[in-house]
Amino acid sequence: MRFHVLTLFPEAFAQPLQFSIVARAVQRGQINIDVADIRDYTHDAHGTADDYQFGGGHGMVMKPEPVFEAAEAAERAQIPVILTTPQGELLTQKLVEELASSPAIAIICGHYAGVDERIAEGLATRPVSIGDYVLTGGELPAMIIIDAVTRLLPGVVGSPESVAGDSITTGLLQHPLYTRPAEFRGMTVPEVLLSGHHAEIDRWRRRKSLERTLEHRPDLLSTASLTNDDRRYLAG
Ligand code: 6GU
């Protein structure tokens, strides 16, 4: 999988992706992250990539020419071209799965007040937002997209079950996890997890997932596949 990142701040990508699972995926050649500096595709002495907006108003706008040229230099094939923008489609695990099925994706990192609409119209195919809050730029969203897509690629995460059983994928939040010691500063691990009764453990985990989802993300419950037992537990 190849990620083409187009950004005004390539230095932002130097460190953050060089640890843990994404770094290992790069080392193993499972992914490539090509970072292009949009400013390299400007044609004036100052490297001007932004300009005032037509019609007036606060904030600069990213010019179309350098972004188009950077994209054209990066990839010729038809691949998804993401534009990071608070005006985009919300990034969900479903969208991440869709992106992970592509051999390559390009990500244009929006900045300043936004980008010239012709970038959205004539270049980007997927405007994507990572949530209902406003960031200063699209670099962190790009890294989030790369991280979420990378962990779905075959062989990147150790066990396929840990990817298939993801909270969100199943429509439920993950149950609590514990490791040793069994008692820590007076806080104990729930007895059932030490019992060795696998059916009981499964039931406890399921109920904790249901409780947490009901408390923090009741909106997810409509997409989860619930048993009659689950429904009774939630109602009770
Ligand atoms: Cl993709 N970009 C910016 N600038 N802010 C955001 C966002 C993206 N997603 C949520 N907020």
If asked whether residues 18 and 126 sit together in one domain, one would say yes
Q: Is residue 159 in a domain?
A: no
Q: Is residue 203 in a domain?
A: yes
If asked whether residues 171 and 60 sit together in one domain, one would say no
If asked whether residues 105 and 217 sit together in one domain, one would say no
- Separation of 142 CA from ligand 1 center, angstroms? 10
pLDDT of residue 165: 63
Q: Which of 95, 129, 139, 140 to mutate to test the pocket of ligand 1 (most atoms within 8 A of CB)?
A: 129
SS3 157: coil
Q: What is the CA radius of gyration of the chain?
A: 22
HSE-CB for 35 with a 13 A CA cutoff: 16
Percent of the chain clearing pLDDT 90 (strictly above) = 91
Neighbour-count burial of 186, counting CB atoms closer than 10 A to its CB (0-12 exposed, 13-18 middle, 19+ buried): exposed
pLDDT of residue 168: 72
- Separation of 197 CA from ligand 1 center, angstroms? 45
Distance in angstroms (rounded) separating the CA atoms of residues 210 and 212:
6
Tell me the pLDDT band of 72, cut-offs 50, 70 and 90. very high
Name the domain boundary from 93, 126, 150.
150
Residues spanned by the domain of 190:
165-235
Q: How many domains does the chain have?
A: 2
Residue 123: give its domain's CATH number.
3.40.1280.10
Averaged over 126-145, what is the pLDDT?
A: 97
Averaged over 114-119, what is the pLDDT?
A: 98
The complex's ipTM works out to 0.96
Q: Which of 6, 109, 130, 147 to mutate to test the pocket of ligand 1 (most atoms within 8 A of CB)?
A: 130
Kindly give, in sequence order, each residue whose CB lies less than 8 Å from that of residue 2, ignoring residues fewer than 6 positions away: 31, 32, 34, 75, 103, 104, 105
Beta bridge partners of 107: 5, 82
Say yes or no to pLDDT of 169 above 90: no
**What is the overall mean pLDDT for the chain?**
95
Name the domain boundary from 118, 150, 182.
150
